[in-house]
Amino acid sequence: MKNNLADRNSAEWTALLECASPYADFARLRELLQHVSWPALFTLAEEHGVIARLAGGLRGFEDGFVPQGTSQKIRDAYRAQALSSLKMIAELLRLVELFRASRLDIMLVKGPTLSVRAYGDAGARLFGDLDFLLRQQDIPRAAELMAAAGYQSDISLQAIRTQKIPGQYRFIRTGAPLLVELHTERTMRYFPRGLPLQDFFSRRQNVLVEEHEIPALSTEDELLLICIHGAKHLWQHLALVADVAALAARQVALDWESSFKTARNAGAERMLHTGLLLAHNLLRAPLPQSIQARIHADAAAARLVTQIATWLPAAGHAPPSLLSRALFRVRLRGNTISGVAYLLTLTFSPTEEDWNTPGGEKPLGHWPNLSRPFRLAKKYRAGKEKS
C-alpha cells in the first residue's frame, strides 16, 4: 500500500471520511476533492470496503468533475459489488426457505439485513459471506442441510458430531463460489460474558429483503453486535465504522437503553462506547445528547478511539504490534482483572486452526490450547488479521 494512504491527515483520507458520513458536507467535500490524488482515493476506498460510500458521495457532482478514468473504475467496482450482492441475496433466500422447511431456528447477522437497516438497500454495503446465528444444539442438523444444499464444510462432520468448537462453522459452495458461516453461543467468543442467545431470539425481528421477510437480530442487538465485531477486528477498516454511523442515523426509533442494557449484561459496554465514539467523532453519527454524554464520559473509550485513529487509515496494512493488540483487548473489557481474563480466554480457546499439528497428526490432550498462543504470535507478527 502506498504510504500516503496510511496518512490520517491526507486529503484522500479526509475526503473518504466525508463520503462515508451519513451527513456529508457537499461544499466541504468539493473543496477536499480539489487536492486529492484520484487513483489514491479509489484505492483507499477499495481497501476500506466503502466503494459504495465513495460512489454515493460523488453522485452530486457535475460531469467531468471526477476524471473519466477514475469515474469508470468506481462504476465498475460498484457494479461488481452490486452483482455479487444480488448473487448472495438469491442464495440467502434459498437457504432461509431451506431452514424454514426444516423448522430450524436461525437469524441472519450483518449482511443484507444490516444493509437494509443502515442504508435502505440490501446491496449498498460490501459483504463476502452470509452469517447465520443459531443454537449450538442445532449445528449437526444445520450441517446436514448445508451438505444437502451443495456446501462443503471446513471441518469434518465427525468433528461437528463430537462437539469440537471452531471459530465458526464455515461452509463453501465451490461451484458458485459462495461462503456461509454459522455462529452459535459457543463460537461467538468475542462476547466477554457469552452470547445471550435466548434473549436475542426472543427479540428477533423480520427485515424485508427483496420482498422476503428475513429473520434477523433486533436493531438494538445488531448495533451491539457490529460494535463487538468491529472491536474483534480492531476497527481496521472504515466500513466497520460506517455501518455503525449509518445504522444510528437511519434507525431514529432505536431503543438506546436496550442496547446499553444488553452491553452491560454481556460485559461489552466499552466496546459499544468505542464503536459509537468512532462513528460520532469520525463520521458525525447523530446520537441523542444523553448518549453522547454517556460515551464521552468513558475516558478509556476515548483513549481507545485515539489509538484506533492511528492505524485505521492504513486499512490493516500497518497493524498494531502484538503487545499493542493484547493491551487493546484488555482495555476493551473495562477493568484490568476482567480485561486480562478476557484476553486469556481468547488466547487459550482453540479453534479449528489449532486442532491439527504440522505433520497432520491428531493433537493430544491440551496441546491445541497450549500451542494456540504461539500460533497467534507467529500469525500476527506476519501481519495477518484472522483469529
Q: 174 pLDDT exceeds 70?
A: yes
What is the tens place of the pLDDT at every residue in 298-318? 999 999 999 999 999 999 998
pLDDT confidence of 372, banded at 50, 70, 90?
A: low
Q: 6 pLDDT exceeds 60?
A: no
Mean pLDDT of 78-87: 94
Query: 192 with 342: CB under 8 angstroms?
Result: yes
The grid cell for 173 is 459452495
Query: 44 with 23: CB under 8 angstroms?
Result: no
Q: 359 pLDDT exceeds 50?
A: no
Q: List 304's β-bridge partners, or say none.
A: none
The grid cell for 25 is 458536507
Domain layout of the chain by residue ranges: 1-66, 82-217
Query: 128 with 77: CB under 8 angstroms?
Result: no
Mean pLDDT of 204-228: 97
Between 143-157, 319-333, 356-370, the lowest mean confidence (pLDDT) is in: 356-370
SS (H, E, C) the chain: CCHHHHCCCCHHHHHHHHHHCCCCCHHHHHHHHCCCCHHHHHHHHHHCCCHHHHHHHHCCCCCCCCCHHHHHHHHHHHHHHHHHHHHHHHHHHHHHHHHHHCCCCCEEECHHHHHHHHHCCCCCCCCCCEEEECCHHHHHHHHHHHHHCCCEECCCHHHHHCCCCCCCEEEEECCCCEEEEEECCCCCCCCCCCCCHHHHHHCCEEEEECCEEEEECCHHHHHHHHHHHHHHCCCCCHHHHHHHHHHHHHCCCCCHHHHHHHHHHHCCHHHHHHHHHHHHHHHCCCCCHHHHHHHHCCHHHHHHHHHHHHHHHHCCCCCCCHHHHHHHHHHHHCCHHHHHHHHHHHHHCCCHHHHCCCCCCCCCCCHHHHHHHHHHHHHHHCCCCCC
Query: 56 with 19: CB under 8 angstroms?
Result: yes
CA gyration radius, the chain? 21
In the sheet where 178-183 sits, what is the strand order? 152-153, 169-173, 178-183, 130-133, 107-109, 212-216, 205-209
What is the tens place of the pLDDT at every residue in 257-301? 999 999 999 999 999 999 999 999 999 999 999 999 999 999 999
Topology of domain 82-217 in CATH is Beta Polymerase; domain 2 (3.30.460)
Between 33-47, 52-66, 97-111, 355-369, the lowest mean confidence (pLDDT) is in: 355-369
How does the average pLDDT of the chain come out, rounded?
A: 90
Report in angstroms the alpha-carbon separations of 266 from 189, 193, 196, 353, 354: 12, 5, 7, 27, 27
pTM tops 0.85? yes
Phi and psi at residue 79, to the nearest 5°: -65, -40
Q: Give CB contacts under 8 A, 24+ apart, made by 182-187.
A: 182/132, 182/133, 182/134, 182/139, 182/142, 182/143, 182/146, 183/109, 183/131, 183/132, 183/133, 183/134, 184/133, 184/134, 184/135, 184/136, 184/139, 185/135, 185/136, 186/136
Q: 344 pLDDT exceeds 90?
A: no
Does residue 118 or residue 385 have the better pLDDT?
118
Q: CA–CA separation, 6 vs 69, rounded Å?
A: 23
pLDDT confidence of 160, banded at 50, 70, 90?
A: confident
